[in-house]
């Protein structure tokens, strides 16, 4: 089994982990009711997607 010969420095470890940070979810606003919703998803408030009603909301 391969075993590292020397310890990786903190700088090298940090450089490798530079892109591991969590990014915030992309949020768009519904053009019909102006509530925040995830992008490419049906609006949970009014049920619209791509300009038409997809889900009937009470």
pLDDT digits (tens, 9 = 90+) for 33-50: 999 999 999 999 999 999
- pLDDT band per the 50, 70, 90 thresholds, residue 57: confident
pLDDT digits (tens, 9 = 90+) for 5-41: 999 999 999 999 999 999 999 999 999 999 999 999 9
Would you kindly state where each structural domain of the chain is located, as residue ranges?
A: 23-58
Task: Please state the length of the chain.
Answer: 58
Measured between alpha carbons, how far is residue 56 from residues 26, 33, 35, 52 in Å? Answer: 24, 14, 16, 11
Residues 6+ away with beta carbon under 8 Å from 55: 42, 47
């Amino acid at each position: 089994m391969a075993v590292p010969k020397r310890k990786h420095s903190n700088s090298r470890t940090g450089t490798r982990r530079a892109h591991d940070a969590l990014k915030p979810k992309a949020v768009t606003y519904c053009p019909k009711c102006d509530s925040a919703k995830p992008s490419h998803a049906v609006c949970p408030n009014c049920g619209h997607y791509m300009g038409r009603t997809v889900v009937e909301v009470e």
